[in-house]
Amino acid sequence: MLSSDLVWKDMVLKESVSNAVARDWPLAVQWSETPSLDLTASEELWHARWAAMDGQPPQRFRAMKLAAMRAFWETSLNGGDREHLGRDWSRFAAWCLDAALAEAWRLPANRKFLKDAGDGVSIPGLFVLGLGKLGGEDLNFSSDVDLIAFFDTGSLPVPESEGRAFVCARVLRDMGKLLGTGSGAPVWRIDWRLRPDPSVTDIAMSAEAGLSYFHFQSEPWRRLAMMKARVVAGDMAAGARFMQELTPFLWRKSLDFRMIDEIAGLKSRIRNESPDIADHAGESDRLDVADAFHLKLDRGGIREIEFIANALQLVWGGRQPVLRVTHTVTALRELARAGHLKADVAQRLIDAYHLFRAIENAIQGLANEQVYRVPANWKAVARRIIAERAFVHAAFQNLFRDRDETAKPSPPSPQLQLHVDQETAAILAEWRNGFARYGVTGDARLALASLPDAILSVLPANRPAGEAISALDAFFRKLPPGGQYFALMASQPQFLADIVEPIVTGGWAARLLDQSPHVAD
């Protein structure tokens, strides 16, 4: 029997729903009295059951969630397909959001803003995107739902004079109230903080403003967040159009290896800024322990598996649409099929992911809280946890650390450091300033500190240094801004040598690169 099954059979059964009821756990008492919900049923059947219930919408949503929670546990304890369970759980969450959004539009205080009230079931224009595990169709038992919302000004039936952003934000807040946001036991805990500029924007903005933000203002980590996005509520057609227009931002035709460095830096920042990690610094840095292992953020945990998949998807997804999936396990399988991960490595990562998610759901189900640390008494799976942690972290290091090692340049040729004129010296100074003159910004500039010397080390010895550097400067000016080609040169010494030689020596290859710099890919 796999250790993921042992989690449920040997550990969870000891702390099962019946034992929780015996301890007067209020939530378990409630769901023990609630008929189970078929999580594989259609949304239409769910809605029919919800509509037939007595009580106000918030109470009916709570009853549906309790019935779904019971079904989640029963499926897990009986050895059901946990991969599809995550999809069904995410589908149920999306149904709740969509139904609550329709109810919020029906409220008289909101319908008065509509030019054409219609039947109130589906108001066009406003749509909600799910990110994170909701977007990835992999919600765990006690997940928050990460949301952002936009409205299409061309189809939203709200007069411009009423303030469309204001009205949409009002409706979305009412949706949250219907789902119990802010109460002691919400149906779903909603998190709006991943929206563009959350400190200065309301929870709804126009699709045009959102697209402008992502394409021209957003930080690189936004691509990592938005690659998980999918439409979960509201006007599905408007949401699909928005996601289609977002494609050039998410999936670059050029091979953007810079994202691997961005993801590595993001992971470090998340760990450094997490209070839970800081409080357990000793345990979090060790790979040889299972007790108190933070399943999500510790080394060798869920986040490292997700980042392996996400990094390779962002590098190759612009050219291979089959990789543009939000589900982590599906992404790992497709990456293996495409040859970007060894098949045995991908399968081992999938096995570890399933194990960690099973444990995560178990410990969250016992208290219905977002907890991630493995209890100290879970001895039955300790050895398997340690083995999987070590493998996952090694795979993560192989992807991210190798880039640091290959970026180390050879020592520059001494003769190239001499006799450069003032114009050439200015170009070199710009290179040592992180290649800022070519549109490289922020942390990407810091990652290129060793690239100037690496370039100098591969310049042909039979060419004057000033001429060679000027030719490269002219080529660099034609590259797209953002720094992805510089990151590729810094991380791939052979690519650097192959690209510098034709540019400096001239010939047909230099003319081709001059006309179409993107052929460097």
DSSP string, 41-79: S-HHHHHHHHHHS-S-HHHHHHHHHHHHHHHHHHHHHTT
Q: Which residues contact 162 (CB under 8 A, 6 or more apart)?
A: 113
Rounded to an integer, the average pLDDT of 71-83 is 76
Q: Is residue 423 over pLDDT 90?
A: no
Rounded to an integer, the average pLDDT of 349-368 is 86
- Range of lowest pLDDT (12-21, 265-274, 298-307, 508-517): 12-21
CA distance 54 to 467: 82
Q: What is the pLDDT of residue 346?
A: 97
Among 31-40, 42-51, 180-189, 419-428, which range has the highest average pLDDT? 42-51
Rounded to an integer, the average pLDDT of 77-81 is 69
> What is the DSSP secondary structure assignment for residue 375, as one 8-state letter?
P
CA distance 328 to 260: 17
Q: Is residue 155 over pLDDT 80?
A: yes
Q: Locate the DSSP E strands across 302-408.
A: none
Q: What is the pLDDT of residue 16?
A: 43
Q: What is the pLDDT of residue 123?
A: 83
Q: What is the pLDDT of residue 520?
A: 57
CA distance 457 to 451: 10
Q: What is the pLDDT of residue 119?
A: 57
Rounded to an integer, the average pLDDT of 103-111 is 92
Q: Which residue has the tokens 């992971």?
A: 267
34/291: higher pLDDT? 291
Q: What is the pLDDT of residue 60?
A: 92
Q: Is residue 142 over pLDDT 50?
A: yes
Rounded to an integer, the average pLDDT of 492-514 is 73
Q: Is residue 290 over pLDDT 70?
A: yes
CA distance 193 to 190: 9
Q: Are 502 and 467 in contact (CB under 8 A)?
A: no
Question: In this prediction, what percent of the chain has a pLDDT beyond 70?
Answer: 77
Q: Quote the pTM value.
A: 0.75
Q: What is the pLDDT of residue 300?
A: 93
Instruction: Classify residue 85 as exposed, middle or buried by CB count within 10 Å of its CB (0-12, 13-18, 19+).
Output: buried
Q: Is residue 430 over pLDDT 60?
A: yes
Q: Is residue 465 over pLDDT 90?
A: no
Average pLDDT for the chain: 81
155/520: higher pLDDT? 155
Q: pLDDT tens for residues 158-178?
A: 999 899 999 999 999 999 999
- Continuous segment of H or E residues that includes residue 428: helix 422-432
Spatial CA neighbour of 481 closest among 452, 511, 517, 432: 517
Rounded to an integer, the average pLDDT of 102-121 is 80
> What is the DSSP secondary structure assignment for residue 373, as one 8-state letter?
B
Rounded to an integer, the average pLDDT of 193-201 is 90
Rounded to an integer, the average pLDDT of 289-309 is 91
Q: Which residue has the tokens 């650390």?
A: 401
The SS3 of residue 518 is helix
Q: In sequence order, what DSSP letters do the residues of 294-321 get, joined into one string?
A: BTTTSTTSHHHHHHHHHHHHHHHTTT-G
